[in-house]
Amino acid sequence: MNAKHADRLAELRAKFDRPPSWKDDPKEDKERQTIRERQPRFRGLEAGHRACQGCGEALAARLVTEAAGPDVILTNATGCLEVFTTPWPQSAWRVPWMHSLFENSAAIASGVEAAMKAQGKSTKVIAMGGDGGTFDIGFQALSGMLERDHDVLYVCYDNEAYMNTGIQRSGSTPHAAMTTTSPPGKERMGKRHLKKDLLSIIAAHHIPYAASASVAYPRDVTRKVRRALSIEGPTFLLIHCPCPLGWGHDGARTIEVARLAVQTGLFPLVELERGAITGVMPIRDQKPITDYLGLQNRFRHLFAKNDHRAEEEREHLQAIADYNIAIYGLAADGDDPLDSEGADTVHRCAIVP
């Protein structure tokens, strides 16, 4: 970003600046405000919550609420997001929010939506859960909610394990990943089973819109949230959210890790309408899966020297990535501003004059 451009942006930002109360308060030192605080956006999830540094789930939830705006009601399954945002008597939520149990976020949201209908209100309802609360224990309630056609967006923050209880495997944990209940050892190479293809199961409900997204592509996340909320009926969004603690990577590299999951083909970004694929994010340069695995402790055992099992597991994971690319047609033909390189905001900023 050149200096002139930066100045112009700063000038625009000053004009858009957030609440007038800032101007009223001469003590407020703008220099000390964080970048986030200077952003003139609606914030549904405030800073100051207790997530780990670099938590992908916290970032994703912020993006979702930012895109949704203030006229929403959120329901939240038990899990990290619920715990780190609401230690009584504090709450990081600026929108009405409710947590009940681990497995009923979708059912609570169904009830909230039914009440909105009964009262003739148009407030949007967003149900949220981790992958445990969505793929596993809360799946029945979710399936029921989709089948009954509730006007609810369900967002699953997929960090691929039960993080809140200390990194146990879930139906979403990728094959071969290490968790505390799928440790590698003489007889095992991490999780034995495959990651459940939840999106296909969701799409099989023939709901109007289901999509996957990644925190590495924030504009894509917000676009999908807005798209989902513009539709009447049940919609679903699966957001890939690295968890530095559970995946064993540096908290500063969350975005890089998330981006590699997409670039390798391990986490395909797709959109489905009434069960049919209507959009994918093409992959410009497919990265080898080892680029992704190598950054994370949970795959460390796959790099063991002189272990033929490690090699086989790596080949297996590469095959999964290749299969995803083939089945969803993810290989880009030529550069696309919305492909895995173009859609990356960091890169795009660089090409703005």
Partner 1 sequence: MRQALEGSQAIAQAVSRCRPGVVAAYPITPQTHIVENISKLVADGDLKTELVSVESEFSAASVVLGSACAGSRSYTASSSQGIMLMSEVLYNISGLRVPVVLTCANRAVGAPLSIWNDHQDSMAVRDSGWIQLYCVDNQEAVDTTIQAFRISEETEIPVMVCMDGFILTHTLEVVDIPDQALVDKYLPPFAFKRILDPKQPISIGTLVAPDFFAEVRHSQHQAMLKSEKAIIEADRDWKKLTRRGYGGLLSEKGPKDAKVGVMTLGSIGGTLAEALDTQPPRRKTKLINLRCFRPLPVAAIQKACEGLTDLIVAERAISPGLGGIVGNEIRAALAGMKKAPKVHNVAVGLGGRDVPLETLNDLVDWAKTAPDTSFSVFDAKLDKLPKEDR
Ligand X SMILES: Cc1ncc(C[n+]2csc(CCOP(=O)(O)OP(=O)(O)O)c2C)c(N)n1
Which residues of this chain interact with ligand X, rule CB under 6 A?
57, 77-81, 102-103, 129-133, 157, 159, 162-165, 170
- Minimum Å gap between C-beta 21 and ligand X is 34
Residues of this chain, 244-273, that bind ligand SF4 according to CB under 6 A: 244-246
Q: Of 189, 289, 180, 197, which Cα lies nearest the Cα of 238? A: 197
Q: Which is nearer to ligand SF4, 83 or 231 (CB)?
A: 83
CB 194 within 8 Å of CB 181: no
Q: Which is nearer to ligand SF4, 133 or 282 (CB)?
A: 133
Q: Which is nearer to partner 1, 127 or 321 (CB)?
A: 127
Tokens of 187: 């007889």
156 binds ligand SF4, rule: CB under 6 A: no
In degrees rounded to 5, what are phi and psi of residue 279?
-165, 145
Burial of 270-289, coded b for 16+ CB within 10 Å and e otherwise, reads bbbbeeeeeebbbbbebbeb
52 binds ligand SF4, rule: CB under 6 A: yes
Residues of this chain, 157-186, that bind ligand SF4 according to CB under 6 A: 159, 163
At 319, which amino acid appears?
A: A
- Minimum Å gap between C-beta 129 and ligand X is 6
244 binds, among ligand SF4, partner 1, ligand X, none (CB under 5 to 8 A by kind): ligand SF4
- The pairing of beta strand 124-130 with beta strand 209-214: unpaired
Q: Which is nearer to ligand X, 53 or 278 (CB)?
A: 53
Strand partners, 273: 276
In degrees rounded to 5, what are phi and psi of residue 325?
-65, -40
Q: Where along the sequence are the contacts to ligand SF4 (CB under 6 A)? A: 51-52, 55, 57, 80, 84, 159, 163, 243-246
